[in-house]
Amino acid sequence: MKLIQANPKTDNEQTILSALNAKERSLRGGATSFSKDGKSKWKHVKFNGWVTVTIAAENILFAKVQAKSPTEEAKIFEAFIGYLTRHCGSLIDTLTIYYR
């Protein structure tokens, strides 16, 4: 399991989570790598595994990346980091990765 912490820039009007949700809605229907599976669970269209996204105090986003195999987890992790930075990079101040 890997845990991603995304700290927002201080002058953001929009949270990282709301930007992610808005982007997923706008890309829904085949043009996106990740789709929501419930309120806080995101699944990749190609890889087996999931990302659980939560918000903490100060609008800090935590994303827990999990899969049944280490290979799939690495692929989902890499894909989610790319998705997050591609669509919300302007809102992020720092990214921290915790290896568990």
pLDDT, tens digit (0-9, with 9 covering 90-100), for 16-66: 999 999 998 888 876 788 988 989 999 998 999 999 999 999 999 999 999
**Would you state the pLDDT for residue 30?**
67
Tokens of 76: 């989902």
> What are the residue boundaries of the structural domains of the chain, listed by start?
2-99
**Would you state the pLDDT for residue 29?**
74
As to burial, measured by CB atoms within 10 angstroms (0-12 exposed, 13-18 middle, 19+ buried), residue 82 is exposed
Sheet containing 61-66: which strands, arranged edge to edge?
Answer: 34-36, 41-44, 50-55, 61-66, 2-8, 92-99
Tokens 């399991």 -> residue: 1
Tokens of 52: 């659980």
| CATH domain 2-99 topology | TATA-Binding Protein (3.30.310)
